[in-house]
Amino acid sequence: MAIDALTTFDDSLVMKVVERREKGRVLLSKYHDAHLDRLRKGFKESIETSTIHLDLISDLERINSHASNIGEHILKSK
C-alpha cells in the first residue's frame, strides 16, 4: 500500500497508510504480549523459538514504521 501511495500520490491511499501505523503498533504489541505469556507458561515450543518470534515482531515493527514514514513524507511534500 505504501508503494502504491508513493507511485500514485493518491491522497486517500496515503491517509490509509498513515492511519495504519497505530493499528500496526497495537497488533504487534498484542503479538509481543502473547509471546511473553506463552514464555511465562513455559511452553517448550515458544521457548525454543523465542528468538525467531521476537526477531519477526521487530522486523514487522520496522516495516510498519517505514511504510508509515513513506506516507507521512508524501503528505509533507504536498
Please compute Rg for the chain using Cα positions: 16
pLDDT at residue 9 above 90?
no
Size of the chain, expressed as the number of residues it contains? 78
Q: What is the pLDDT of residue 77?
A: 85
Per the structure, how many domains does the chain have? 1
> Counting beta carbons within 10 angstroms of the beta carbon of residue 41, is it exposed (0 to 12), middle (13 to 18) or buried (19 or more)?
exposed
Domain that holds residue 7: 2-77
Segment holding 1, helix H or strand E: none
Q: What is the pLDDT of residue 6?
A: 86
End-to-end CA distance of the chain: 18
Q: How many CB atoms lie within 10 A of CB 14?
A: 23
Task: Tell me the whole-structure pTM to 2 decimals.
Answer: 0.80
